[in-house]
Amino acid sequence: MSTSIENATGLIAEQARRIDAVRAEVNKVLVGQERLLDRMLVALITGGHILLEGVPGLAKTTAVRTFSEALGLDFKRISFTPDLLPADVIGTLVYNQKDGQFTPRRGPVFTNLLLADEINRAPAKVQSALLEAMQEHQVTIGDTTYPIAEPFLVMATQNPIEQEGTYPLPEAQVDRFMLKCKIVHPSKDDERRIMNRFTRKQDVKINRVLDAAQIAAMRGVLDQIYCDEKVGDYILDIVFATRKPAEYKLPIAHQIAYGASPRATLYLNMAARANAMLHGRAYATPQDVKDVAYDVLRHRIVLTYEAEAEEVTSEDIIARILNELPVP
């Protein structure tokens, strides 16, 4: 096993240089959002999708657009509104009067990096159309199924305030997102840097430092990141503690209506190995699991009414599990 780790270490060193190049380009525009950038890189490496939650003005859209420019990927944005239709997302058949035939018109979902802006403002049919494309990486228009080119990454945003007239994503659909990241306000020092940098007109050029082939190679290296059996057991313990907390001597069963799904187990493993790659390691550690646990689990734990009445959040549940479970 040590030989395979040594071989992977050489490959990871090459990927680390590419990751650092992406960081340098994105940080020309993004200030004080290192955690968000890390999570976007984890999603890129693993092929997962991200749900970004934060109040307006925290550069969610700017971050995704800058990220796409540094990757040299095709980028499209959909502003979700209550009058949006599924055809506006996936496309539809258009009648051609000249030849009397219907021809497909592909929607904006046919791209590499899709920004679904304020996804919770569109009706359930539109949300379902997008989430099906996310899951299957293909779209059916009429009688024909069209594959979506790889890499395909969806970054959806939602606003936690102004909930009037919104359509919250059902838990089963939120589960399709690998990560749910909460974006907070920058620190005073970071906001000072933002003020000094962007209150004067300037033209920031973002250079392309990755392409689709290099991203595919990066994903191939992920498969060589070693995850020890003890780390795998730790992942299973965390997930099962959300389902059967009493077996782990955690008195929180009355606060959890539904625990994390099997997707949580898969995504914790993948995200932990991707996090190890970001830190230049060929093996995942329990700390990698802890680093990504909140983003993987916070939208997969459904709370009881009793927990909500006590103002307990899913983050509180995760924190208690991580603090009390023994670490290998």
CA distance 92 to 269: 38
pTM summary value: 0.87
The pLDDT of residue 239: 95
Burial class from Cβ neighbours inside 10 Å (0-12, 13-18, 19+) for residue 120 reads: buried
Per the CB < 8 A criterion, the answer to whether 103 and 142 are in contact is no
pLDDT value for 214: 85
Do residues 183 and 301 lie in contact, with contact meaning Cβ atoms separated by under 8 Å? no
Query: 160: helix, coil or strand?
Result: coil
Nearest of 122, 112, 111, 129 to residue 158 by alpha carbon:
122
List domains and CATH numbers for the chain: 2-199+208-214 (3.40.50.300), 225-324 (1.10.8.80)
pLDDT at residue number 234: 95
CA distance 236 to 264: 9
First to last CA, the chain: 19
Blockwise average pLDDT, block size 10, the chain, 328 residues: 62 84 86 86 91 79 85 88 88 81 85 88 84 85 86 85 69 84 83 79 81 86 89 95 91 90 93 92 92 93 90 92 91
String of DSSP letters for 197-264 = HHSS---PPPPP---HHHHHHHHHHHTTSEE-HHHHHHHHHHHHHHH-GGGGT-S-GGGEEE---HHH
| Beta bridge partners of residue 138, listed in sequence order | 147
Within 13 Å and on the Cβ side, how many CA atoms surround 218?
29
H or E, element range at 42: helix 34-46
